[in-house]
Amino acid sequence: MAKRVSWELYRSFLAVLSEGSLSGAARALDIAQPTVGRHVAALERSLGVPLFTRSQTGLLPMESALSLRTYAEAMSNSVAALERAASGQGSGVRGVVRVTASEVIGVEVLPRIIARLREKHGELQVELVVSDRMQDLLQREADIAVRMARPTQALLIARRIGHVGLGLYATRQYVKRHGAPETIADLQRHALIGFDQLTPFIRSAGKAFPAVHREAFAMRADSGLAQLALIRCGAGIGICQVPIATRDGLVRVLRKQFSLQLDTWIAMHEDLRGSLRCRVTFDALVEGLQEHVAGAS
């Protein structure tokens, strides 16, 4: 390459990869479609290789494009992290902090904590990434992560919050209509709500409770929020975090026979130790999640 390639070209390249077309990438970036086309063509000239082939459904990435994706995504994460760091310059707690958490924690627990944090620090902006996929803190996909497993990467600052209890729950109306199971074997006569695809946690839980397996579930969803919604509407019995179930007035069944725990942690990259916006957010999450865990008994 005769000269360095502009980040704008890689940004358009990533958008085309994600959206599958020039028009989709243009909408995602809020720029003109011909501009995206020029960016992709300029990148192909600079690299000396074609990146996409045209099809009836849009642009298909070639092997050359797929091989660049990881590096371009790392660049994008670094640019976003730089912009967040720049937003926090100046006095006081200000700027953007990107927090990631699982669906259930992100929707059911963190909003109250974030609202309280924003009451104290009005210039702080919080980006909440709700996903059961673990965001990579080392690649700066997020600044702070709430994780239901101990972080193992050496460059992370991690704080253990404690265990969140899990139990089997249903609505009072469901129990009134169908009765409460008295043994694990009784679950066979009930409408169970559970997972579709196996995960490491589910495999581990299955060893302890072999009667609770995929084929036993009348309703299956890999979304924790979807399972929670099914439980709340009285569709059946499912697994729920104890503090959430207690707050919602759900009825616990088989308390002595069925109990699981989620180990809860908060982590951030050690390079953010000196960032006031991240430290304040980290401490607020610790305090709020400790309150949540305290309701898990």
Domain residue ranges of the chain, discontinuous segments joined by +: 7-83, 87-160+263-294, 163-262
Provide mean pLDDT across the span 218-245.
Answer: 95
CATH class of 7-83: mainly alpha
Q: What is the mean pLDDT of residues 282-294?
A: 93
Tell me the mean pLDDT in the region 33-43: 92
Q: What is the pTM of this model?
A: 0.74
Q: What's the CATH number of domain 163-262, 3.40.630.30, 3.30.70.141, 3.40.190.10, 3.50.30.50?
A: 3.40.190.10
The mean per-residue pLDDT over the stretch 175-196 comes to: 93
What pLDDT is stored for residue 212 in this prediction? Answer: 77
Q: 7-83 with 87-160+263-294: one CATH topology?
A: no
Is residue 135 predicted with pLDDT exceeding 70?
Answer: no
Segment 61-107, tens digit of pLDDT: 999 999 999 888 888 888 888 888 887 777 788 899 999 999 999 99
Give me the architecture of the 87-160+263-294 domain, per CATH.
3-Layer(aba) Sandwich (3.40)
Q: How far apart are CA 71 and CA 13, in angstroms?
A: 12
